[in-house]
């Protein structure tokens, strides 16, 4: 089942001067999986995710995403992945439609395809009424969902999400996870970082990072059994201590 592994990482390390942000982590992610990448604030999740999506070069170790090497084939990886960053990073001064068109264009979609994608995103997210409004004026929950939809505009194999539910209300968080499930059902791989432990329960498998190291890596049920905990919250607290 080797071809089933879509992300493979060995001893991945990132150092900034003397500080080791990510310390020799190793893991695999299977195709179609929802992989939860957990950890406290500052544990090194964002640094790790940036190495996987080709924004940051690893200091040591190796890895491959969608069959491409993260050190040497970053640009190939970028064609096959979507990324939704922790900080909202669509253009606030462009309208909803202009943002979709721009990112579709940058990913090289045809004009016809951009039109189709625009319509389907507007319908799915119920944004038709604000299609011609600038993104700056949208409520933050809507912005997050639009950012997610745009990260998927080119229909990538894998989508990386860095704290997608940070700062949104419980209702939007629920909607978000419904969307994530729908995407996973289509055979996409979802790689999601979060520090909400309840969200960890929704993942197929999770890894927990503490101070740059990866302390646990299994299904949520197995982790709870191993550490004799009732919830992921407890698992996390036991590991972090």
Give the interface with another protein as residue ranges (CB under 8 A): 53-57, 74-76, 78-79, 81, 83, 85, 87-94, 98, 101-108, 134
- How far apart are CB 70 and another protein at their closest, in Å? 10
| Closest listed residue to residue 216, CA positions, set 202, 234, 190, 199 | 234
The single residue listed with the structure tokens 């969902």 is: 145
Q: Which CB sits closer to another protein, 29 or 90?
A: 90
Q: Which CB sits closer to another protein, 7 or 216?
A: 7
- Crossing angle between the packed helical segments 111-124 and 96-106, to the nearest 10 degrees: 140
Angle in degrees, CA 63, 163, 92, rounded to 5: 110
Q: Which CB sits closer to another protein, 66 or 235?
A: 66
- How far apart are CB 154 and another protein at their closest, in Å? 8
- How far apart are CB 24 and another protein at their closest, in Å? 20
- How far apart are CB 87 and another protein at their closest, in Å? 4
| Alpha helical stretches, state H, the chain | 45-52, 74-80, 96-106, 111-124, 140-151, 170-185, 197-200, 220-226, 232-240
Q: Which CB sits closer to another protein, 57 or 226?
A: 57
């Amino acid at each position: 089942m080797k071809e089933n592994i879509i992300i493979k990482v060995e001893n991945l390390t990132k150092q900034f001067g003397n500080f080791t942000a990510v310390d020799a982590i190793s893991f695999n992610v299977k195709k179609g999986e929802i992989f939860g990448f957990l950890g406290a604030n500052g544990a090194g999740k964002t640094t790790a995710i940036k190495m996987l999506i080709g924004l940051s070069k690893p200091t040591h170790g190796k890895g491959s995403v969608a069959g491409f090497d993260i050190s040497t084939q970053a640009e190939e990886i970028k064609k096959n992945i979507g990324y939704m960053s922790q900080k909202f990073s669509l253009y606030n001064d462009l309208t909803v439609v202009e943002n979709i068109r721009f990112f579709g264009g940058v990913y090289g979609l045809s004009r016809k395809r951009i039109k189709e994608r625009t319509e389907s995103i507007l319908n799915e997210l119920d944004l038709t009424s604000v299609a011609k409004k600038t993104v700056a004026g949208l409520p933050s929950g809507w912005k997050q969902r639009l950012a997610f939809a745009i990260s998927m505009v080119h229909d990538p194999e894998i989508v990386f999400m860095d704290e997608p539910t940070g700062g949104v209300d419980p209702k939007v968080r629920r909607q978000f996870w419904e969307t994530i499930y729908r995407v996973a059902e289509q055979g996409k791989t979802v790689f999601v970082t979060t520090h909400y432990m309840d969200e960890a329960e929704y993942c197929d498998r999770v890894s927990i990072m503490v101070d740059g190291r990866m302390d646990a890596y299994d299904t949520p049920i197995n982790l709870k059994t191993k550490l004799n905990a009732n919830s992921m919250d407890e698992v996390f607290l036991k590991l972090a201590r």
